Structure 1
């Protein structure tokens, strides 16, 4: 036989073939990962551009509204004859103590549960706007009137 080098055929070693195959596979994997990152990056850029357009539109709208608001006069929030009802936790506690009522009695007069009264007094919640007139009415009443109301309510419950 003849020597392969003499024929001009260069035989590669196993290590050389292995190295080239690993390099080819690594390039293929890197290419797929880079393609995924490129598409994600393009999507993020598109999202950012859309958000910037939205912010610009909202800022423009805000600017128009602030100009329109500056030109208008501020109307009164409440009509002249109507009073704003407020709720103060301390005032509510002192009212109940002054009247000598339990939380259940106070709740039945207002139309809520005793638990609601406890939550109002603890500051965990506040009464609804629809309940404020009932509280204001109780503030204007005397103890004797309230006792009569409770008696009438007790009688109506016992008849049921």
Structure 2
């Protein structure tokens, strides 16, 4: 009888493995399908995040009533760009020292602003804005007057 018990045990193990293998195959297929759909969703999310980032860069913050009231009280808010300063100085065809005379600062300060090593203060931004409106002829006339 021990022979029949071992044969029966072996047969039960074989049938159980076959059933488990069939169940695992369906689970593997479902898992692969889920992974593929998850990967596709991740790609879509990444594309949408990039699009949102691009849209956010292009959009400007809407001005509120309090912002416009603050700007009117303080005057217009000035922005500074080192590359635009260098481009304007090149357009005028003057040295950093000469441009500094127009603005009311040293040539070294102009150089530092153009290199991005320093930024102008609010009062200096106002004089930069005034010089920015000058044409090349007006700038040379002012330099001669100085």
**Which residue in the other structure is 1:109 paired with?**
102
Could you say which structure has the higher helix fraction? Answer: 2
The whole-number CA distance in structure 1 between the counterparts of 2:119 and 2:139 is 23
Shift of 1:82: 3.5
Shift of 1:135: 0.9
Q: Deviations over 1:83-131 (max 9, x none)?
A: 2111111110100000001000001111111110110011000011111
- 2:93 alignment partner, one of 79, 93, 100: 100
Shift of 1:139: 1.4
**Which residue in the other structure is 1:9 paired with?**
none
Shift of 1:75: 2.8
The 5 A counterparts of 1:73-92 are 75-76=66-67, 77-79=70-72, 82-92=75-85
The whole-number CA distance in structure 2 between the counterparts of 1:137 and 1:79 is 18
**Which residue in the other structure is 2:128 paired with?**
135
Structure 2 gap ranges (5+): 1-63
**Which residue in the other structure is 1:151 paired with?**
144
Which has the larger Rg? 1
**Number of aligned residues:** 81
Structure 1 gap ranges (5+): 1-72, 154-160
Shift of 1:74: 7.8
Which segment is superposed worse, 126-135 or 81-90? 81-90
